[in-house]
């Protein structure tokens, strides 16, 4: 028995080492591409490109799902030539990842004005016809993509948007220059380096022990309720941001916090969603909604939330006159599901 356990443990350690080595190798390879323009340009030769037009990704419908087609460098060069564009436009692409076999993945927007080429933006209808797809707003397609494509496209859109908005130095006013991978921009006149950034946002599911608090903003789709969320202020810790947001939006004081998970979220601009569970002090559960922030907020029972999770379809819920929750891909959905299932979490200091 002890011999069997020893072999099993060694095998487990071996496969864990293999997995870790693959991740480290990918990470080191991507680091090299970000730091070395020549290496990145070489990687484009065998890489794959995801195409966008004015920040909308090129997608193809497959049943009830969307798929994101990929294009080789040669295919992309032929496409640009057909539409009278020079291949220098490819330098506007950004690195968004790679496979375990080190096939590099890039994203290129054909609708934004090029910073490396004199050519104007390509026309959307002609491109869609040629590419046999449609440039679809990511907000509409996100929840009909598989997890891999959703992750890559949200990252790509965030990077493309950041580069489009940071083409000039805030100090000198001179044009900035992007490196080949798109991991930074540099001002040639003063050497200031600009890196893509995300804004930290706390998203908090508040509970009184038996109920959870859900709220909605006027901008939400009809009938949808979610957890409380807000940007972190400069100088705040995560814990301070959670307490302030809960106090500002619903007039409650948080007693305990539990960290749950985090997620990049591209809308409306790139944010890092930091999800937490929070409980309020006993006897202090009267909600005072801040109407400048929220349209409505209320306490919901475990049964009500569990039912909403099981029937989480906007059409079904509106027909029944009940509320619905954010889709599965959103971290708010996972936060609410955790509360229903009562999992163990890492506790933050109170």
Give a three-class secondary structure readout of 68-133: CCCEEHHHHHHHHHHCCCCHHHHHHCEEEEECCCCCEEEEEECCCCCCCCCCCCCCHHHHHHHHCC
Q: Is the pLDDT of residue 221 over 80?
A: yes
pLDDT of residue 350: 45
Task: Tell me the three state secondary structure of residue 200.
Answer: strand
Task: Tell me the three state secondary structure of residue 252.
Answer: coil
Residues 76, 87: Cα–Cα separation, whole Å: 8
Q: Write down the mean pLDDT value for the chain.
A: 87
pLDDT of residue 101: 93
pLDDT of residue 28: 93
Q: Which of 14-18, 250-254, 300-304, 335-339 has the lowest mean pLDDT?
A: 14-18
User: pTM for the complete prediction?
Assistant: 0.83
Beta strand residue intervals within the chain, DSSP E: 48-53, 56-62, 65-67, 71-72, 94-98, 104-109, 134-135, 177-178, 185-186, 193-194, 199-207, 211-216, 228-231, 254-265, 271-280, 296-301, 346-347
Q: pLDDT tens for residues 256-315?
A: 999 999 999 988 889 999 999 999 987 889 999 999 999 999 999 999 999 999 875 554
Provide the 10 A C-beta neighbour count for residue 75. 13
pLDDT of residue 316: 47
Strand partners, 120: none
Q: Is the pLDDT of residue 345 over 50?
A: no
Q: Which of 198-207, 238-247, 260-269 has the lowest mean pLDDT?
A: 260-269
Spatial contact of 108 and 70, defined as CB atoms under 8 Å apart: no
Count of alpha carbons within 13 angstroms of residue 207, beta-carbon side: 19
Domains and CATH numbers, the chain: 22-165 (no CATH), 199-313+320-341 (3.90.79.10)
pLDDT-based confidence at 119, cuts 50/70/90? low
């Amino acid at each position: 028995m002890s011999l069997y356990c020893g072999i099993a443990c060694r095998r487990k350690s071996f496969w864990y080492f293999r997995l870790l080595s693959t991740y480290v190798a990918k990470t080191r390879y991507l680091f090299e591409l970000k730091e070395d323009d020549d290496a990145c340009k070489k990687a484009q030769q065998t890489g794959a490109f995801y195409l966008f037009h004015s920040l909308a990704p090129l997608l193809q419908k497959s049943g009830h799902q969307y798929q994101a087609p990929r294009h080789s460098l040669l295919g992309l060069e032929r496409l640009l030539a057909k539409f009278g564009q020079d291949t220098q436009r490819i330098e506007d692409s950004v690195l968004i990842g790679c496979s375990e076999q080190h096939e590099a993945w890039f994203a290129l927007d054909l609708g934004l004005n090029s910073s490396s080429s004199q050519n104007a933006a390509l026309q959307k209808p002609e491109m869609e016809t040629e590419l046999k797809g449609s440039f679809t707003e990511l907000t509409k397609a996100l929840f009909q993509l598989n997890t891999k494509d959703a992750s890559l496209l949200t990252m790509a859109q965030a990077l493309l948007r950041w580069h489009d908005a940071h083409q000039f130095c805030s100090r000198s006013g001179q044009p900035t220059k992007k490196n080949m991978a798109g991991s930074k921009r540099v001002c040639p006149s003063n050497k200031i380096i600009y890196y893509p950034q995300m804004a930290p946002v706390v998203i908090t599911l508040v509970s009184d022990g038996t109920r959870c608090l859900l709220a909605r903003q006027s901008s939400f789709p009809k009938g949808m309720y979610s957890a409380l969320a807000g940007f972190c202020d400069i100088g705040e810790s995560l814990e301070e941001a959670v307490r302030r947001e809960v106090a500002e939006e619903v007039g409650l004081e948080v007693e305990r916090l539990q960290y749950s998970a985090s997620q990049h979220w591209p809308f409306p601009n790139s944010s890092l969603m930091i999800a937490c569970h929070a409980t309020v002090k006993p006897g202090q559960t009267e909600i005072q909604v801040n109407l400048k922030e929220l349209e409505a907020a209320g306490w919901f029972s475990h049964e009500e939330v569990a039912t909403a999770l099981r029937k989480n379809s906007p059409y079904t819920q509106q027909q029944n006159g009940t509320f619905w929750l954010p889709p599965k891909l959103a971290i708010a959905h996972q936060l609410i599901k955790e509360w229903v299932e009562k999992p163990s979490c890492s506790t933050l200091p109170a």
